[in-house]
Amino acid sequence: MIYYKQVVDGKIVSYGIYGGEELAPNQTEITKSEYDKIVADVAADDKARADAAAKAAEEARKKAEEEAKARQATIDDYVAKVKAGTIKIADVPEEYRAEVNNIINPPPTVEELKSQLDSAQSAIDYLILNGTGA
């Protein structure tokens, strides 16, 4: 077995263990301890990059969570003001208006819509069976 590395512009671009007899012209034979050090260095670099990416992701998650809490607090404040009558929904900035309106005037639930549809269907059925009364 031959341990090797390939260096381009002073940087190791590949390394490995070769089972043949001769290395390619651009590969240099190294000792097992040199090979083990390269493997350890690459693993340490990979871990450092992964740790940095995880830290950045966690910071982004925390920032997004803080922004969401701040937004919800602002929405809650506008909801309280509208309910108290100190402002109207039209006074709520456009950015928050739809959410504030949905809290104060929630859209009908599926059950409510089904009930309304059933009531309308009953009225139509009555008119069809009994005439319009005209």
Q: What is the pLDDT of residues 67-108, one digit of tens each?
A: 999 999 999 999 999 999 999 999 999 999 999 999 999 888
Radius of gyration of the chain from Cα atoms? 35
Largest CA distance in the chain: 105
Q: What is the mean pLDDT of the chain?
A: 92
pTM more than 0.95: no
* pLDDT given at position 134: 54
* pLDDT given at position 21: 78
**Residues 88/82, Cβ–Cβ less than 8 Å:** yes
Write out the H or E segment, with its range, that includes residue 8: strand 2-8
Write out the H or E segment, with its range, that includes residue 32: helix 32-84
How many Cα neighbours within 13 Å face the side chain of 73? 6
28 strand-pairing partners: 5
* Structure-token pair, residue 22: 């001769």
d(CA 54, CA 56): 5
User: Phi and psi for 3 in degrees, rounded to 5?
Assistant: -90, 140
**Who has greater pLDDT, 133 or 64?**
64
- So where are the chain's domains? 1-30, 31-130
DSSP state letters, 115-134: HHHHHHHHHHHHHHHH----
Q: Which of 19-28, 79-88, 105-114 has the highest mean pLDDT?
A: 79-88
